[in-house]
């Protein structure tokens, strides 16, 4: 096919990553699919597919990430689209979440993305083209009690991706921040998300954890529609920087900005009164 592209996808053994990999292979694209254990990808997709390169990658080890990208280019000759999808949710109030738990969440949900970005950009700069798709979440807009660490990592992705888009534009490289609402993936399955080990009475952590478990399988979003949208934007000359997917995501973010605008206007006079007389 003339528009065949090479994709590099993290977290490809389940959820959005697996659904996207399946769609791309069905359309004739080439995919380097990463997981903590490539056998999990092979179990889902089979072995011997010429357009699939399953890779075992430790995303918090930059050397492992660099090696995976090198293997992708060696196998397929180039990389066109990178999808930073791997991540997990950590629940717990900020008093309950330990420094080690928060740090691990930052490593997997933020620094892993940056490892991929730093090591793919030399290829994108050299070929003067590329597209980086970073998964954030509607949770990156505003806070949720007992999910502050998750809000923090998803907000961080939005922040650095906006800067990245400005930095890489001269190299004809595009950036899209994907912020889904609740989709019917494995994210809410019991054991799929982490909960702070420390428990303090009075915080809503246990109630939130129970609500997540009970909502599993009832999420309104269709993962197949989301990954189809990603394929569509990858073929656009001017893809969106911000992409809210899911009715719940759209409503949450729309409300967030409306409320922030009201607050800013309410405090306008104080904001403008800070200059030297």
Residues 6+ apart with CB under 8 A from 211: none
> Is residue 87 within 8 Å of 135, Cβ to Cβ?
yes
100-148 tens-digit pLDDT: 999 999 999 999 999 999 999 999 999 999 999 999 999 999 999 999 9
Per-residue pLDDT, 220: 65
In order of their start, the domains of the chain are 6-249 (3.40.50.720)
Q: Tell me how many degrees the CA angle 112-60-196 measures, rounded to the nearest 5.
A: 90
Look at residue 228 and tell me whether its pLDDT is greater than 90.
yes
Look at residue 3 and tell me whether its pLDDT is greater than 90.
no
Per-residue pLDDT, 213: 80
3-state secondary structure 14-83: CHHHHHHHHHHHHCCCEEEEEECCHHHHHHHHCCCCCCEEEEECCCCCHHHHHHHHHHHHHHHCCCCEEE
- The rounded percent of the chain whose pLDDT value lies above 70 is 96
Q: pLDDT-derived band of residue 1, with 50, 70 and 90 as boundaries? A: very low
pTM > 0.85: yes or no: yes
Per-residue pLDDT, 47: 80
172-209 tens-digit pLDDT: 999 999 999 987 766 555 556 899 999 999 999 998 88
* Dihedral (CA of 92, 98, 99, 102) sign: negative
Catalytic residues: 13, 136, 150, 154
Query: Quick one: 269 exposed, middle or buried, by C-beta within 10 A (0-12, 13-18, 19+)?
Result: exposed
Q: pLDDT-derived band of residue 91, with 50, 70 and 90 as boundaries? A: very high
Of the ranges 39-48, 175-184, 207-216, which one carries the lowest mean pLDDT score? 207-216
166-171: list long-range contacts, CB under 8 Å, 24+ apart.
Answer: 168/121, 168/124, 168/130, 168/132, 171/121, 171/124, 171/125, 171/128, 171/129, 171/130
């Amino acid at each position: 096919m003339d528009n065949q592209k090479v994709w590099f996808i993290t977290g490809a053994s389940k959820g959005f990553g697996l659904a996207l990999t399946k769609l791309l292979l069905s359309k004739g694209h080439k995919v380097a699919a990463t997981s903590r254990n490539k056998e999990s990808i092979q179990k889902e997709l089979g072995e011997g597919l010429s357009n699939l390169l399953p890779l075992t990658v430790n995303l918090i080890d930059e050397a492992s990430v660099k090696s995976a990208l090198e293997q992708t280019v060696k196998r397929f000759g180039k990389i066109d689209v990178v999808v930073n999808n791997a991540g997990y949710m950590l629940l717990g109030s900020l008093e309950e979440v330990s420094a080690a738990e928060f740090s691990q969440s930052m490593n997997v949900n933020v620094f892993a993305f940056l490892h991929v970005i730093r090591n793919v950009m030399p290829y994108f700069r050299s070929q003067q083209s590329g597209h980086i798709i970073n998964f954030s979440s509607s949770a990156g807009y505003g806070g949720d009690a007992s999910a502050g660490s998750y809000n923090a990592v998803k907000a961080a992705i939005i922040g650095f991706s906006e800067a990245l888009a400005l930095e890489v534009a001269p190299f004809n490289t595009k950036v899209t921040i994907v912020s889904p609402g609740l989709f019917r993936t494995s994210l809410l399955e019991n054991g799929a998300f982490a909960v702070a080990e420390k428990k303090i009475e009075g915080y809503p952590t246990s109630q939130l954890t129970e609500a997540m478990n009970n909502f599993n399988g009832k999420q309104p979003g269709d993962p197949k529609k989301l990954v189809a949208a990603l394929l569509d934007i990858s073929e656009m000359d001017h893809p969106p920087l911000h992409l809210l997917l899911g009715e719940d995501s759209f409503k949450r973010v729309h409300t967030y900005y409306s409320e922030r605008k009201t607050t800013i206007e309410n405090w306008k006079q104080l904001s403008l009164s800070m200059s030297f007389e």
